[in-house]
Amino acid sequence: MNDRIPPQCLDIERAIIASFLVQHDTFLKYGAQIKTDDFYSTDHAAIFAYMLETTITDMVLISDKFPGRAVLMADMVGTCSTSENLEYYIRELKDRAYRRQQITAMFRAQEQLYTDFDTSALAIAENTVVELNPCEQQVNKPQSLSEIMPAMFEQLGSIAKGEGVKTGLTDIDDIMGPFFPGEFVLLAGRPSMGKTSLGNQIARKAAKDGYPTLVFSLETLKNVMCARIVFSETEKSFGLALKGNMREISGMTALCGPASELPIYLDDSPDITIGHIQSVTENYVKRYGAKLIMVDHLGLIKAKGGRSRNEEVSEISSGLKRIGLRYEVPVLALNQLSRAVELRNPPIPILSDLRDSGSLEQDADKVIFIYREEYYNRKSDKKGIAEIIVAKNKNNGVGYREVVFDAATMNFRNLRKEYDGQARTDF
């Protein structure tokens, strides 16, 4: 640190404390917007901390608690008793506090850059950005039901109009409903079930419906992920293109114009952390209006070392959930299940398969599994059929439906089949 005096506004601090001492109702109205650390003066911080703890703002009672500060409070009340500009004062108070926090965080990062060679420079920068996130400074003020209801009915109205992020598979959407802002959605299954294909399909559907999508591709380079998205969108086979089939490549080239315009943004940065996801998400929500975040896949997110894998996954899971809530966007995270699933016959995944992965089952608002019988049984009569299982859904129904999986174009489609109108739930 240097010898310069940190940013502060002592006159404003005195005016705020004086307003609370003079008018208890003013404290009740504005006190919850302020934190003790917002005050630079230790005297002011101590007085305010006592007010928060006890809700006492009477100067006589506080002077009895802090006799050494009685003269200070009397002087504040005598010179700064107005509350007309209190909202402006509070904004200035918090601005100075935030500046001090920025200075401290930057000095801490500077020291870490000089000494901590076990942590990458990029991770240090990302952690600093997270620490300085203004969202952390905002007070989530409680609201009454009457204040909340207009937004609630607006959201329900949009759902009634068919709006919202959906899978595009009608049978599944009928069971599950759309992805709500702030939801943490888990799409899980064993390898080769089609998790990335379904995730990409949901991203394409969202983008075509006007919901810009940010994809963190931890497993695949963005040029390959781009190819998978574009080939699937144009109903062409990426597999054939990789074998040098010029007809498939030229056919796709003629059709890829609309696909290239989809608002899908790919990030394949190495060693992605929760801090990186948060900082990039904030940027793309503000700049491009991102409405869906997809992570492929959760198990490859880098966590702080030195702990058990369960603890690391718990940290990642809760971090993704906080990001969704903070920026009011659904977060779709793909996850690979362990081999323990295959010890059952048939190896259809169930919620208990997530219990060895920390808090995934608890944190997720929706859990979707993919299962393909033909992968395990070559004689299966369900060739090209996948089961999409909605195993958990806090805001709607659960059940499963069979859908068509076109392995060539990596697309899922509705299976037109007679149903009794009810989703099967015996999984």
pLDDT digits (tens, 9 = 90+) for 334-378: 998 888 888 888 888 888 888 656 588 888 899 999 999 888 888
Q: Identify which of 8, 29, 17 has the alpha carbon closest to the alpha carbon of residue 98.
A: 8
β partners of residue 266: 215
Torsion, CA 312, CA 313, CA 315, CA 317, rounded to 10: 170
Tell me: pLDDT of 80 over 80.
Answer: no
Give me the percent of the chain exceeding a pLDDT of 90.
29
Q: Identify which of 370, 288, 323, 391 has the alpha carbon closest to the alpha carbon of residue 183.
A: 323
- Asked if 285 and 213 count as a contact pair (C-beta separation under 8 A), the reply is no
Give the confidence band of 420 by pLDDT, cuts at 50, 70, 90: very low
**So what's the pLDDT on residue 119?**
80
- Asked if 211 and 181 count as a contact pair (C-beta separation under 8 A), the reply is no
Beta 331-336 vs 399-406: how paired, if at all? unpaired
Upstream peptide bond of 347 is cis (omega within 30 degrees of 0) = no
Tell me: pLDDT of 299 over 80.
Answer: yes
**So what's the pLDDT on residue 39?**
95
**So what's the pLDDT on residue 233?**
79
- Asked if 327 and 246 count as a contact pair (C-beta separation under 8 A), the reply is no
Average pLDDT over residues 220-232: 84
**So what's the pLDDT on residue 367?**
93
Name which residue leads in pLDDT, 218 or 423.
218
All domains of the chain, ordered by start, with CATH?
A: 1-139 (1.10.860.10), 163-414 (3.40.50.300)
Name which residue leads in pLDDT, 68 or 421.
68
Tell me: pLDDT of 2 over 70.
Answer: no
**So what's the pLDDT on residue 255?**
63
Tell me: pLDDT of 198 over 60.
Answer: yes
**So what's the pLDDT on residue 262?**
87
Give me the percent of the chain exceeding a pLDDT of 70.
87
**So what's the pLDDT on residue 425?**
41
**Least confident among 98-107, 144-153, 190-199, 259-268:** 144-153
Tell me: pLDDT of 253 over 90.
Answer: no
pTM of the model: 0.70
* Distance from C-alpha of 228 to C-alpha of 225, rounded to nearest angstrom: 5
**Least confident among 6-20, 30-44, 153-167:** 153-167
